Amino acid sequence: MTIDMSQFYQVFFDEADELLAEMEKLLLALDVNAPDSEDLNAIFRSAHSIKGGAATFGFTDITEVTHVLESLLDRIRKGEMALTTEHVDAFLASKDVLAMLMNGHRHGEAIDHDAVQNVSKRLNALSEGGPVAAVSAPAAQQSAPAEKTVPTADADGNFHFRIELPAVPQKDVDALAAELGLMGTLTRDSLPDQRAVFNLVTSESQDTIVAICAFVLDPDALVITAAGPSAPVSAPAYELYEQVPPPASAAAPAPAAKPEPVAAAPAGETKNWGRRATDKEGGNAESSSIRVSVEKVDQLINLVGELVITQAMIDQRISALDPLLHERLMNSANQLARNTRDLQEAVMSIRMMPMDYVFSRFPRMVRDLAGKLGKKVEFVTRGAATELDKGLIERIVDPLTHLVRNSVDHGIEMPDRRRAAGKNESGRLTLSAAHQGGNIVIEVTDDGGGLNRERILAKAKQNGLAVSDTMPDSEVWQLIFAPGFSTAEVVTDVSGRGVGMDVVKRNIAAMGGVVDIRSVPGSGTTISISLPLTLAILDGMLIKVGEEIYILPLGYVVESLQPAPVDVKEIAGQGKVVKVREEYLQLIPLYQIFAIEPKSADPSQGILVILESEGKKAALLVDSLVGQQQVVVKNLESNFRKVAGISGATILGDGGVSLILDVAALLRSSRQLNVDTLCF
């Protein structure tokens, strides 16, 4: 039985990703002048846990970078060295290198070996600035950042290991001997204190041995010694550098860029191998959560959706019964309804994730950007605990990244200009999230120069957009979402190519959200994104045309009314308009679009639902309103195809299917229709 370790890789990567993110967050929050020792400890633990995991899985390159990092961190946290900004920068750089190495292992992405070397050098250089006692070991690392600390193979490609077991029951020793025996030639021996010692000649690596032993005993208690024909080159004194620093000169002969480097461990040098990734110090938080695949959660949500529908069916059937005769049945049904609702809420909340997931990646980006542009930016987040559907949270990252970059690049001014304007030299960028009804509102606010109305209008005219000088501000601001629009004076590598804002708007619209801009010249800009909390459930208005029931997403509905016959006017014998509060709205007869036999084609006999999308309003003519309810959105395309004017479907209480109208498309296509009519 050989254990395939690769099945655990994903767990390690996921965990390491989290640890790296955590590390970065802590590093950014660190006050260089008065670092909090708890934070330092936490950073150290993160590095240490990654190192442990990487060692277990044999990712030697990761182990080595983390090792140098950890050593440096260790000394800082012990107060042997003072923390400087240089340190923080170097740590952040090494975090990037680690992430790169991780991706290299995970997806086979290219690894920039120079970057790895640079970071090692940088860390080592910093170490050298400290007490002499610790210089040599990291220095040894420097020249051989990718070296594997495996013993030299003998002529047959075999390694010689001496494995000292801790005190374990005899049957475990036997079991281990049998397992290890499969790997090569094993001889058993025992120490004076009855502990067992194996001598193993094998072609497998030390990691494999540790991995096998880990199932029976604590690998920390294992002492594995590489014995055998080793070359007299001193290896990096890995993990024990405080104890025996080898001479600094040892670094020199180690060849730096061997593709499959082999460093010899001198006989008798012992190491503690294979700390498990869930380190005793670092792994406490894990026990309170479990990892579940998104598919499983989605399946659960689907099933609960089914349950809600079934429950609605039962309700409908029961309502036809005599309440006096079936009182107890009705009580039970009410109970079921309550429980179902609670269950649905609880299940939906599984998909919810805090906005922190998105926000946490920005401090670093803002810091780097501000540094590159020579600006000073103070970054603040608010409401990071606000929760949003996981599907949406992943899709909001890109638009939000773009907006934050824009704010740093265009919004916040250079320090001298800020000073001239009587403002604080360092700009303030605020990222906030808050719930508002069924929506989440995410805002990117800067206290920069604000949008320049004149320049936007000039640029719009230049681009041939239909604008007038008397447009309200809100409409002018919306112009920056037009494709190819950029008001930046200089195109920088940060932003200003004019691609982006239109994409931002499109992406957000695709999520069912809207973008709004507020800007005051001289005091800053706020870009506000409003998104529905989840895509899986929608507040719908049920409408009836003929015998068919359709659903209108409530978000688009402004009001509904029964028009007076005089308010409906015909234009050119084709389209109709309706006057609502001194405003003429285009009338869209749903029966005509969907070829339904209506109860009455006369608008004054039906109901007009005023819809608003993308700033355009129109009146939809329907026969009657049925009611409002939350519906579970089902995809029509998974088994069928896209249908014009329909955005999805849902299952009603009676088990029948009802189609959800695509309001934005309806308004668009009806406009199109009018343009076509005009052309003829």
Partner 1 sequence: MLTLTDTARDQEAEKPSEDAKEYLAFTLGREEYGIDILRVQEIRGYEPVTRIANAPEFIKGVVNLRGTIIPIVDMRIKLNLGEATYDQFTVVIILSIAGRVVGMVVDSVSDVTTLKPEQMRGAPEVGTAFDSDYLIGLGDLGQRMLILVDIEKLMSSSEMGLIEKIAA
Q: Does 259 bind partner 1 (CB under 8 A)?
A: no
Q: Tell me how far, at minimum, the Cβ of 657 lies from partner 1, in Å.
A: 4
Taking the least distance from each CB to partner 1, the nearer of 115 and 297 is 297
Q: Does 515 bind partner 1 (CB under 8 A)?
A: no
d(CA 483, CA 287): 49
Full strand arrangement of the beta sheet holding 223-227: 184-190, 196-202, 159-164, 223-227, 270-271
Q: Does 642 bind partner 1 (CB under 8 A)?
A: yes
> Binding partner 1 by CB under 8 A: which of 34, 656, 679, 680?
656
> Binding partner 1 by CB under 8 A: which of 641, 676, 679, 680?
641
Residue 552 vs residues 532, 549, 652: alpha-carbon distances, Å = 15, 10, 14
Nearest Cα neighbor of 175 from 220, 217, 205 is: 217
With tokens 């190491």, the residue in question is 271
> Binding partner 1 by CB under 8 A: which of 640, 675, 676, 680?
640
Structure tokens at 24: 């970065």
Taking the least distance from each CB to partner 1, the nearer of 328 and 640 is 640
d(CA 284, CA 540): 44
> Binding partner 1 by CB under 8 A: which of 132, 639, 675, 680?
639
Q: Tell me how far, at minimum, the Cβ of 381 lies from partner 1, in Å.
A: 39
The pattern of x and - marking residues 544 through 583 that bind partner 1 according to CB under 8 A reads: ----x-----------------------------------
> Binding partner 1 by CB under 8 A: which of 50, 400, 460, 593?
593
Contact between residue 136 and residue 246 where contact means Cβ atoms under 8 Å apart: yes
Q: Does 538 bind partner 1 (CB under 8 A)?
A: no
Q: Does 304 bind partner 1 (CB under 8 A)?
A: no
Taking the least distance from each CB to partner 1, the nearer of 222 and 304 is 304
> Binding partner 1 by CB under 8 A: which of 638, 675, 676, 679?
638
In this chain, which stretch among 154-162, 217-225, 301-309, 335-343 interacts with partner 1, using CB under 8 A?
301-309
Q: Tell me how far, at minimum, the Cβ of 645 lies from partner 1, in Å.
A: 7
Q: Does 597 bind partner 1 (CB under 8 A)?
A: no
In this chain, which stretch among 255-263, 305-313, 395-403, 415-423 interacts with partner 1, using CB under 8 A?
305-313
The amino acid sitting at 204 is: E
| Distance spanning both ends of the chain, measured CA to CA | 79
Instruction: Name the packing angle between helices 501-510 and 390-406 (round to 10°).
Output: 160
Q: Which residues pair with 380 in a beta bridge?
A: 430
- Please report which helix (H) or strand (E) contains residue 410, including its range: none
Taking the least distance from each CB to partner 1, the nearer of 133 and 644 is 644
Residues numbered 13 to 42 that lie near partner 1 (CB under 8 A) are none
Nearest Cα neighbor of 376 from 445, 448, 451, 444 is: 448
> Binding partner 1 by CB under 8 A: which of 599, 634, 668, 671?
634
Q: Does 658 bind partner 1 (CB under 8 A)?
A: yes
Nearest Cα neighbor of 498 from 525, 466, 523, 463 is: 463
Q: Tell me how far, at minimum, the Cβ of 357 lies from partner 1, in Å.
A: 30
> Binding partner 1 by CB under 8 A: which of 177, 183, 248, 636?
636
Q: Tell me how far, at minimum, the Cβ of 332 lies from partner 1, in Å.
A: 24
Contact between residue 543 and residue 622 where contact means Cβ atoms under 8 Å apart: yes
Instruction: Name the packing angle between helices 60-77 and 136-143 (round to 10°).
Output: 150
Q: Does 635 bind partner 1 (CB under 8 A)?
A: yes
Size of the site for partner 1 (CB under 8 A): 29
Q: Tell me how far, at minimum, the Cβ of 569 lies from partner 1, in Å.
A: 27
Structure tokens at 400: 């939000």
Q: Does 305 bind partner 1 (CB under 8 A)?
A: yes
The amino acid sitting at 336 is: L
Contact between residue 647 and residue 660 where contact means Cβ atoms under 8 Å apart: yes
d(CA 87, CA 90): 5
Q: Tell me how far, at minimum, the Cβ of 650 lies from partner 1, in Å.
A: 9
Helix, strand, coil proportions of the chain in percent (round to 5)? 45, 20, 35
Which residues contribute to the site for partner 1 (CB under 8 A)? 302, 305-306, 309, 548, 593-596, 634-646, 649, 651, 655-659
